[in-house]
Chain A
Amino acid sequence: MIVSAFGLGRQRRVLPGFGLSLGVSLTFVSLILLLPLTSLVGQLSQLSWSQYWFLITDPRLLASYGVTLLGAGVAALFNAAFGLLMAWVLVRYDFPGKRLVDALMDLPFALPTAVAGVTLATLYSSNGWIGRLLDPLGLSVAYTWVGIALAMAFTSIPFVVRTVQPVLEDLPAEVDEAAVTLGARDGHAFRRVILPYLWPALVTGTGLAFVRSLGEFGAVIFIAGGKPYETEITSLMIFVKLQEYDYAGASAVASIVLATSLALLLAINLWQGRFIKRLHGGRP
C-alpha cells in the first residue's frame, strides 16, 4: 500500500488511488475552473470602485437587469404551476402515452438552447404557427418581454417536475386516506396535507429554474430581438460589450451575474439543508 503513505487524514487509507485521484482532480479543477475564474478577478482588480460602479449602473444595463429579473420571475412562477401539475399527473394518474409525456419533460435539457431559441422565435413571430393566431388579437410575444419569459420558461421546465416527482412518489398512501376519510374536500386536503409535504421540493425546483433563467442566453436572444432598454437581457449585454472589445465592462457585468447566481444557489442549498435537518430532527 504505497499510496497510503501519503495519507493526510488520521485514519489509514485502505483503498488505493488516493494520491492519483487527488492529483488528477486538483489539476483539473485548478486548470479548468479556478485559473479562468481568477482571470476575471484579475481583470476587475484593474478597475477602481468608482469605475466599477459607473460600469454596473449604466442606464441601459439597469434596464437589462429589470427585463432579466421580470422574465426569470414569470418563467419560474409558470414552471412552479406547470411543474407541479405535470408531476401530479405523471405520479397519480395512468393514461395512454404517459411514458412518452414523461420522457418529453426532459426535452428542454436535451435540446440545444440555440435550437430552442430559433424554433420559439419562428413559432411566435407574426407569421409563425402561433404568432399568426395571436396577432389578430393584438398580442405579440416575439420581441417583447413575454417572449423572453416564454423562452426562459421552456429551458427550465424540467427543474420543478423532476424535483417534485420523486417526493410525490414517496408520499405514503395513508396521508391521502387520512385526509379523505376525515372528510376534507379535494382542494382543501391538497393545500393543507399534500402541499406542505411538497413545499421544499417545489421551492428548490422553482429556485433552480429561476437561477437557470437568469443566465439563459441561447434560447432567449432570438425571440428577444435585443432592443436596447426594452428587450436586452443581461447576458446579452456581456456579449455586446465583448464585441465592442470592452473587456472591463463585460467583466464588471459578468461579476454581477456570477455573484447573483452563486448567492442564490448557496441560499437554495442552505435552505434545503435546514429543511432536511428539521425533517430528521423529528417532526411535531
Chain B
Amino acid sequence: MVRIGDAPGVRRLLIGTALALSALFLLLPLVAIFAQALMSGLDVYWQNLRDEYTLAAIGLTLLVALLTVPINLIFGVFLAWLVTRFDFPGRRLLQTLIDIPFAVSPVVAGLVYLLLYGRNGWLGGWLDAHDIQIMFAWPGIVLVTIFVTCPFIARELIPLMQAQGSREEEAAVTLGASGWTIFRRVTLPKIRHALLYGVILTNARAVGEFGAVSVVAGAIRGETNTLPLQVEQLYQDYNTVGAFTSASLLALLALLTLAAKAALEWRAARRETAT
C-alpha cells in the first residue's frame, strides 16, 4: 500500500526533525534539572534535601495532596454519576461550570480566594473575629488547590460513563441491589482505570500548583512554602543547586506520573486487542 510521506527521504527528514526538536525542547530541560541539582555532588544534594525548610515544604506539599485528592475524588465521582445517569434541567450548565478552573489563570484563582477569605474580604471579618486563619496558612493553600484541580477526575469519568450507558446498573436495580452495592460491584470495576488516571493527574497538579498557591501562601519560610514555592524562593536567593534539588523531587514525580499514564494506556490497549 502506498501512503503519503512514505518515501525514505521524507520519512528520515521528518523523524529527524521531530527527534531533534523534542530533544531540544523537552529532553534537555529534563536533563538540566537533575544536572543542576547534582552539580556540586551527591553529598551536597543530600544536605540540601535534609534542609529544615525543604523538609517542611515536602511535608506541607504532602498534606495538600492528601487532602485535595480524596475531596476531588468524592466530588468527581458524584458529579460524573449525576450528569451521566440522570437528565435534569441545568445539566449542561453544571458541566460547563466545572470547566471554569481550566479557563482561569491560576493567579486569578488565587485572587478570588483572597478576595473572599482575606482580611478585607467578605468572610474575612468574621474569620478574624473567630481567630480562624485561612489565607496565608495551609487551609487557604488546600482550598485554591481544590479549586484548580477539581475538573480533572470528573473530566476523565464523564465521557467514559456516558459511553458505557446505565444498562448494567439498571439491571442491578431490578435485582434489588442497593445504591452503594451497584456502585461498588457494577460501576467501579468499569471505571477503575479512568478513575486512577484522574487521581494521578489531580495529584500531579496538586503537588505542582504554583500561581494560585503563591497568591494565598504569603511565602512564610518553613510554614506556608510548598515545594514549588520553595523552588522559587531558593532560586531568588541565588541558591541554584538548592532550588534544583527541590525541583528534582518534583521532576521525579512528573516522571512517575508519565510512567503511570503510559502503563495505564498500555494495559487498556492490551485489553482492547484481547477482546
Is there an interface contact between A115 and B106, defined as CB atoms closer than 8 Å? no
Interface string of B209-245 (1 = CB under 8 A from A): 1110011000000000001110110010000100110
| Set of chain A residues within 8 Å of B259, measured between Cβ atoms | 103
- With a cutoff of 8 Å between Cβ atoms, the chain A residues found around residue B21 in the complex are 82, 85
Known A-B contacts A25-B78, A115-B33, A254-B111; A42 and B122 likewise in contact (beta carbons under 8 Å): yes
CB-defined contacts of A28 to chain B, threshold 8 Å: 75, 78-79, 150
Residues of B within 8 A of A20 (CB): 78, 179
Cβ of A29 < 8 Å from any Cβ of B?
A: yes
Is B2 a contact partner of A215 (Cβ separation < 8 A)? no
Q: How many A-B residue pairs have CB under 8 A?
A: 290
Q: Which of A10-18, A57-65, A136-144, A274-282 contacts B (4 or more CB under 8 A)?
A: A10-18
Kindly provide the distance from the CB of B149 to the nearest chain A CB, expressed in whole angstroms.
10
> By the criterion CB–CB under 8 Å, are B147 and A33 in contact?
yes
Q: Which residue of B lies closest to A180 (CB)?
A: B2
User: Which listed residue (A92, A109, A118) contacts B5, Cβ 8 A?
Assistant: A92
A9 interface hit (Cβ, 8 Å): yes
The answer to whether A39 touches B1 (Cβ under 8 A) is: no
Asked if A115 meets B27 with Cβ closer than 8 Å, knowing A106-B261, A254-B111, A261-B104, the reply is no
B228, A218: Cβ atoms under 8 Å?
yes
Is residue B7 within 8 Å, beta carbon to beta carbon, of the partner chain? yes
Q: How far is the CB of A93 from chain B (nearest CB, A)?
A: 6
Contacting residues, chain A, for B214 (C-beta < 8 A):
218, 239
B168 to chain A minimum Cβ distance, whole angstroms, is 11
What is the size, in residues, of chain B's interface with A at 8 Å between Cβ atoms? 100
Bound Cα distance A142, B115 (Å): 33
CB of B3 within 8 A of CB of A176, answer yes
Known: A180-B4, A257-B108. A18 touches B32 (CB 8 A): no
Min C-beta distance of B62 to chain A, whole Å: 15
**A11 nearest CB neighbor, chain B only:** B87
Whether A112 contacts B208 by the Cβ 8 Å rule is yes
For chain B, residues 43 to 92, give those with C-beta under 8 angstroms from any C-beta of chain A. 74-75, 78-79, 81-82, 85-89
- Interface status of B188 (Cβ within 8 A of chain A): no
**In the complex where A8-B89, A111-B208 touch, is A106 in contact with B97 (Cβ < 8 A)?**
no
Return A29 CB to nearest CB of chain B, in Å.
6
Q: Which residues of B contact A117 (CB under 8 A)?
A: 210
Say whether B215 contacts A239, CB under 8 Å. Answer: yes
Q: For the complex, give the distance between the alpha carbons of A261 and B121 in Å.
A: 25
Residues of A within 8 A of B106 (CB): 215, 217-218, 235
Q: Give, as a whole number of angstroms, the nearest-CB distance from A269 to chain B.
A: 9
Residues 92-129 (chain B) with a chain A CB within 8 angstroms: 94, 97-109, 111-116, 118, 120-122
Nearest CB in chain B: distance from A16 CB, A: 4
The reply to whether A186 and B105 contact each other, CB–CB distance below 8 Å, is no
Provide the residues of chain A in CB contact with B1, threshold 8 Å. 173, 176-177
List of B residues within 8 angstroms of A35 by Cβ:
116
Given known pairs A15-B169, A39-B112, A217-B105, the reply for A112 and B210 (CB within 8 Å) is: yes
Closest to A184 in B: B4
Would you list the 7 A-B pairs with minimal beta carbon distance, nearest first? A112-B208, A215-B105, A218-B210, A16-B179, A217-B211, A110-B254, A21-B82
Q: List B residues at the A interface (Cβ < 8 Å).
A: 1-5, 7, 10-11, 14-15, 17-19, 21-22, 25-30, 32-33, 36, 74-75, 78-79, 81-82, 85-89, 94, 97-109, 111-116, 118, 120-122, 143, 146-147, 150, 166, 169-170, 173, 178-179, 182-183, 201, 204, 207-211, 214-215, 227-229, 231-232, 235, 240, 243-244, 247, 250-251, 253-255, 257-259, 261-262
User: What are 29 A-B contacts with C-beta separation under 8 Å?
Assistant: A9-B88, A17-B179, A21-B79, A32-B143, A32-B146, A33-B97, A36-B113, A36-B147, A39-B115, A39-B116, A42-B115, A85-B14, A93-B11, A101-B22, A112-B208, A112-B227, A112-B228, A115-B33, A115-B250, A122-B240, A190-B5, A217-B107, A218-B228, A222-B235, A235-B105, A235-B106, A235-B108, A242-B111, A258-B105
A113-B228, A239-B107 known; 20 new pairs, CB 8 Å cut-off, are A3-B179, A9-B87, A28-B79, A40-B112, A85-B18, A86-B22, A101-B22, A104-B258, A106-B258, A112-B209, A113-B211, A119-B244, A122-B240, A129-B32, A177-B3, A190-B4, A215-B103, A215-B107, A218-B211, A254-B112
